[in-house]
Amino acid sequence: GAGVSQTPSNKVTEKGKYVELRCDPISGHTALYWYRQSLGQGPEFLIYFQGTGAADDSGLPNDRFFAVRPEGSVSTLKIQRTERGDSAVYLCASSLKASGRVEQFFGPGTRLTVL
Amino acid sequence: AQRVTQPEKLLSVFKGAPVELKCNYSYSGSPELFWYVQYSRQRLQLLLRHISRESIKGFTADLNKGETSFHLKKPIAQEEDSAMYYCALSGAGANSKLTFGKGITLSVRP
């Protein structure tokens, strides 16, 4: 079946603009995760959803970042007033349920470049 | 706080040589440990996890709680093993967010 998909694959924007990044998880997966990967670093956790609710948003760096998952499937990561330091690859992952013992399946990522 | 340390950025070996990719962790509790791999132009994927105690593509990893390590090993490297490898940790329960190390590039030369 289809894996996790993310759109767009690349996004170039100007400093100060607003962007939305979309994630389509594997069908039936109730848990959805967002990570950010800067150059030369491993992925860093941002937020995860169990169903429609954000179960842990402790990784969001500041209040410019917000994510939603209104119907428990597709999720959108929203970044307001983008800064050059937001440039990174944003990864989405999903799993059958939120458990440390359940495999997370990753999408291909969205490469965000803030000029 | 949970932390994963991969002390090396690059390991270059010849085909047929043994490989060991190091990983140390810090976690107050019983962690779940994983190795993820990213081949060129592919997405991040799970290679193996300590709970499964299995060998995948000839790789094994043993959790050493005394040394807080989870090193990845393969006795005979193949060229197709060349990739980026990440060690990761999560809690066992609902605390399922993954904490990753910085990753190591494994290059296997012919």
pLDDT digits (tens, 9 = 90+) for B63-102: 998 999 999 999 999 999 999 999 999 986 777 899 999 9
Say which of B45, B46, B96 has its CB closest to residue A98. B96
Is the peptide bond prior to B75 cis by the omega test (within 30 degrees of 0)?
A: no
- Say which residue the tokens 């990044």 belong to: A21
A90 touches chain B (CB under 8 A): no
A57: CB partners within 8 A, 6+ apart: A46, A47, A67
pLDDT digits (tens, 9 = 90+) for A91-107: 999 999 887 778 899 99
Please choose, from the candidates B110, B108, B104, B57, the residue with its C-alpha nearest in 3D space to the C-alpha of residue B84: B104
pLDDT digits (tens, 9 = 90+) for A28-87: 999 999 999 999 999 999 999 998 988 899 999 999 999 999 998 999 999 999 999 999
Residue B56 has a pLDDT of 87
DSSP for B26-91? Answer: E-SS-EEEEEEEE-TTS--EEEEEGGG---BTTBEE--BTTTTB--EEESS--GGG-EEEEEEEEE
Residue B28 has a pLDDT of 85
pLDDT digits (tens, 9 = 90+) for B8-60: 999 999 999 999 999 999 998 888 999 999 999 999 999 999 877 788 899 99
- Say whether B95 and A100 touch across the interface (CB within 8 A): yes
Q: Check pLDDT > 70 for residue A1.
A: no
For residue A3, what is the nearest residue in chain B, using CA coordinates?
B43
